């Protein structure tokens, strides 16, 4: 499993913590920035991560900004991306199971590091549903990109 990760300044500290968390689990990470708390524009990092995930089939992305919302909106502009902004472990699980999300977007300001780890862990442990209705819906999402 490989994760491309990125954040803006508001998500920097959380990104650093979650990268260590992933690496302790034996998951390969590639940090695409930012690399400090100087103010930056989150769409730049959402684009970098989303393009890598879209190109590298089977990989995942982790994006962190102040709320996770902006990163999710920006990442979802890239063809092939299904970025989710879950707010708890249940929605993280459902994002993978029902939507086959390939990027998880989290809040660097609203979540304490331990809570963010729980959400990320739920995402990691979930598998896409094999039910036809969920597969069909993901296919319909892909058709919207054309």
Looking at residues 51-59, what average pLDDT do you find?
98
Confidence class for position 115, pLDDT limits 50, 70, 90 = very high
DSSP assignment of 65-107 equals ESSSHHHHHHHTTSTT--EE--SSHHHHHHHHHHH--SEEEEE
Of all residues in the chain, what percent carry a pLDDT higher than 90? 99
Confidence class for position 96, pLDDT limits 50, 70, 90 = very high
Query: Distance between CA atoms of 143 and 122, rounded to whole angstroms?
Result: 28
Confidence class for position 146, pLDDT limits 50, 70, 90 = confident
DSSP state, 110? S
The reply to whether 35 belongs to the active site is no
Which residue of the set 9, 35, 98, 105 is catalytic?
98
Fold of 2-144: Ribose 5-phosphate Isomerase B; Chain: A, (3.40.1400)
> What's the pLDDT tens digit per position in 116-142?
999 999 999 999 999 999 999 999 999
Looking at residues 10-33, what average pLDDT do you find?
98
Which residue of the set 9, 35, 65, 105 is catalytic?
65
In the numeric block, which tokens belong to residue 11?
Answer: 């998500």
Mean pLDDT of the chain: 97
Bridging pattern class, strands 28-31 and 83-84:
unpaired
Looking at residues 49-61, what average pLDDT do you find?
98
Residue 125 and residue 109 in contact, taking contact as beta carbons nearer than 8 Å: no
Domain ranges of the chain: 2-144
pLDDT of residue 113: 92
Confidence class for position 145, pLDDT limits 50, 70, 90 = confident
The reply to whether 98 belongs to the active site is yes
Confidence class for position 29, pLDDT limits 50, 70, 90 = very high
């Amino acid at each position: 499993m490989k994760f491309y990760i990125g954040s803006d300044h508001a998500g920097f500290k959380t990104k650093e913590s979650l990268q260590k968390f992933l690496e302790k689990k034996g998951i390969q990470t590639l940090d695409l920035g930012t690399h400090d708390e100087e103010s930056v524009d989150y769409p730049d990092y959402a684009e970098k991560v989303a393009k890598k995930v879209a190109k590298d089939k089977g990989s995942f992305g982790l994006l962190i900004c102040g709320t996770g919302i902006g990163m999710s909106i920006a990442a979802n502009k890239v063809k092939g991306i299904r970025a989710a902004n879950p707010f708890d472990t249940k929605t993280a699980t459902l994002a993978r199971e029902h939507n086959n999300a390939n990027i998880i977007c989290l809040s660097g300001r609203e979540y304490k590091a331990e809570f963010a780890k729980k959400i990320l862990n739920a995402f990691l442990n979930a598998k896409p549903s094999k039910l036809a209705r969920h597969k069909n819906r993901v296919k319909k999402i892909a058709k919207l990109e054309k």
